[in-house]
Amino acid sequence: MALHQNLIAGEWVGSEAVANINPSNANEVVGHYASGNAADMEAAIAAAKAAFPEWSRSGILHRHTILKKTSDEIQARKDELGVLLAREEGKTLPEAIGETIRAAQIFDFFAGEALRLAGETVPSVRPGIGVEITRDPLGVIGIITPWNFPIAIPAWKIAPALCYGNTVVFKPAELVPGCAWAIVDILHRAGLPKGVLNLVMGKGSVVGQVMLDSPHLSGLTFTGSTGTGKRVALASIEHNRKFQLEMGGKNPFVVLDDAELTVAVEAAANSGFFSTGQRCTASSRIIVTEGIHDKFVAALTEKLKTLVVDDALRAGTHIGPVVDARQLKTDTDYIEIGKQEGAKLAFGGGMIERENPGFFLQPTLFTEATNDMRISREEIFGPVASVIRVKNYEEALATANDTNFGLSSGIATTSLKYATHFKRNAEAGMVMVNLPTAGVDFHVPFGGRKASSFGSREQGKYANEFFTTVKTAYTLA
């Protein structure tokens, strides 16, 4: 099998190969990918630094054309890239194709943004002086991404970084080098000058750590765990560098007595279990008022019985495998913790055997959980959710907000009064009414509060806050 290499200073390099394993079938190798070392990362950073002066002054039409070409190729190859994504990460093929299309849309959006760069001209408070406010590119941007959205997250960081004139060093998660390599290959062939985008696949503790410790990065955008996010923050402060973090969630989904039952059940099932619960916007706390509680639990349990857990590529699969053995162990450990804490296992809880050896776990629902249990406070990142019974809306809102995290927050209700109150008072970056907590648009801001996020928002035009720096220029007329 051919080795997919790292891209450093416009050259494909690297020899140490790591096998990319399919979580639907642990015997299947998706491909071989280079694993870089510290020197590779140093070289990539140097190349990005050298490429910055020219790229930052390159014309907006040049940047537009490259981003647009990239979008078009991703869109044209959506089925093939979707299969690659489903094979390396384990989400179902329709979800994987959907994510691939989203990546194409993101590149298209930022291709457009490149043509819409603008500043402001304002009068000075001192007569005879003009003031211009513009946005400059930052410099070299380090991009560190997680495994759960192998094409969309790299897209929503790389596209704005390049659009606004920055150069990039990109380190994808170890488990999903395939999509990362594919989009870098597409961008490279679309005409990016050498060194503008560098790919270094490899271990976070090795190549990622070199990025954290480098004095040459002007910005570092990270999505991943809270623990690594904290390291990114501390290292970035040390180097006086701008940083942006997207980390965990423990997103609540509130179901009120007046909710439309089908809407509530569909949204809760989607939020908790689709994409194998491996979305930072997934909901693992379903907070239900007592009038609808039993009816809702019965209906959600019936729904879970209909969900097919199987190979990500198989037609009819609703839930693919857990991403790897380590995550599977985390999930099953939390299921044991939930039982020991006294929550009632209402559905699932066990592993499933399929034709091939994959990491298949039943969707798992706890009831009679309380908000102080570890399963209600810590992010599990698997198909495991708990129902917390509350008296009324006021208790539901208080419980929803009683968490260290604040990414997404959802409610199912037919009441305009409660929907409006919840939108205003949910302590989260994103609020969903009668919709799953996960599933967001590509053209509007994404991000959270509290321990979920740090820094300015990603995506949409808000992305320019991170990827540019403001300059105020005064001229004596």
Structure-block tokens of residue 291: 């009038």
Q: Residue 138 or residue 212: which is nearer to ligand ADP going by CB?
A: 212
Residues 6 or more apart whose Cβ sits within 8 Å of residue 374: 334, 337, 338, 341
Amino acid occupying residue 443: H
Q: Which of 194, 231, 344, 443 binds ligand ADP (CB under 6 A)?
A: 231
212 binds ligand ADP (CB under 6 A): yes
134 binds ligand ADP (CB under 6 A): no
204 binds ligand ADP (CB under 6 A): yes
Question: How many angstroms from the chain centroid is the CA of residue 244?
Answer: 13
Q: How far is the CB of 162 from ligand ADP (least distance, A)?
A: 20
Radius of gyration of the chain (CA): 23
CA dist 115 and 86 (Å) reads 34
CA dist 196 and 130 (Å) reads 34
Phi-psi region of 170 (alpha: psi -120 to 50; beta: other; left: phi over 0): beta
42 binds ligand ADP (CB under 6 A): no
Active site residue 246: yes
Q: How far is the CB of 249 from ligand ADP (least distance, A)?
A: 12
Residues 6 or more apart whose Cβ sits within 8 Å of residue 180: 145, 150, 154, 170, 172, 199, 201
Active-site position among 99, 113, 163, 280? 280
Q: Residue 56 or residue 225: which is nearer to ligand ADP going by CB?
A: 225
The residue range among 49-57, 203-211, 273-281, 438-446 that interacts with ligand ADP, by the rule CB under 6 A, is 203-211
Between β-strands 6-8 and 167-171, what pairing exists: parallel, antiparallel or unpaired?
A: unpaired
Binding mask 86-125 for ligand ADP (x = CB under 6 A): ----------------------------------------
Q: How far is the CB of 228 from ligand ADP (least distance, A)?
A: 3
Active-site position among 246, 266, 379, 458? 246
CA dist 206 and 397 (Å) reads 43
Q: Which of 30, 45, 144, 217 binds ligand ADP (CB under 6 A)?
A: 144
Q: Which of 7, 173, 183, 187 binds ligand ADP (CB under 6 A)?
A: 173
Report yes or no: 189 and 98 within 8 Å, Cβ to Cβ.
no
Report yes or no: 28 and 37 within 8 Å, Cβ to Cβ.
no
Report yes or no: 380 and 282 within 8 Å, Cβ to Cβ.
no
208 binds ligand ADP (CB under 6 A): yes
The residue range among 33-41, 142-150, 287-295, 296-304 that interacts with ligand ADP, by the rule CB under 6 A, is 142-150
Report yes or no: 413 and 433 within 8 Å, Cβ to Cβ.
yes
Residue 288's nearest CA partner among 255, 319, 321 is 255
Q: How far is the CB of 93 from ligand ADP (least distance, A)?
A: 23
Report yes or no: 375 and 341 within 8 Å, Cβ to Cβ.
yes
Q: Residue 194 or residue 230: which is nearer to ligand ADP going by CB?
A: 230
Q: φ, ψ for residue 2 (rounded to 5)?
A: -65, 150
Beta bridge partners of 134: 471
Q: Which of 22, 228, 236, 270 binds ligand ADP (CB under 6 A)?
A: 228
User: CA angle, 164 as apex, 40 and 132 as ends, to 5°?
Assistant: 135
Q: Which of 88, 89, 99, 174 binds ligand ADP (CB under 6 A)?
A: 174
The DSSP-derived string for 58-118 is: S-HHHHHHHHHHHHHHHHHTHHHHHHHHHHHH---HHHHHHHHHHHHHHHHHHHHHHHT--
> How buried is residue 19: exposed, middle or buried, by Cβ count under 10 Å (0-12/13-18/19+)?
exposed
249 binds ligand ADP (CB under 6 A): no
150 binds ligand ADP (CB under 6 A): no
The residue range among 68-76, 223-231, 310-318, 463-471 that interacts with ligand ADP, by the rule CB under 6 A, is 223-231
The residue range among 95-103, 110-118, 143-151, 388-396 that interacts with ligand ADP, by the rule CB under 6 A, is 143-151
Task: Please give the DSSP secondary-structure letter assigned to residue 456.
Answer: S
382 binds ligand ADP (CB under 6 A): no
Active site residue 89: no
Q: How far is the CB of 368 from ligand ADP (least distance, A)?
A: 29
The residue range among 74-82, 170-178, 390-398, 423-431 that interacts with ligand ADP, by the rule CB under 6 A, is 170-178
Q: Which of 31, 90, 139, 146 binds ligand ADP (CB under 6 A)?
A: 146
Applying the rule CB under 6 A, the residues between 265 and 284 that interact with ligand ADP are: none
The residue range among 82-90, 144-152, 156-164, 312-320 that interacts with ligand ADP, by the rule CB under 6 A, is 144-152
Which residues participate in catalysis according to the annotation? 246, 280
Can you give the binding site for ligand ADP, defined by CB under 6 A? 144-146, 171, 173-174, 204-205, 208-209, 212, 224-225, 228, 231
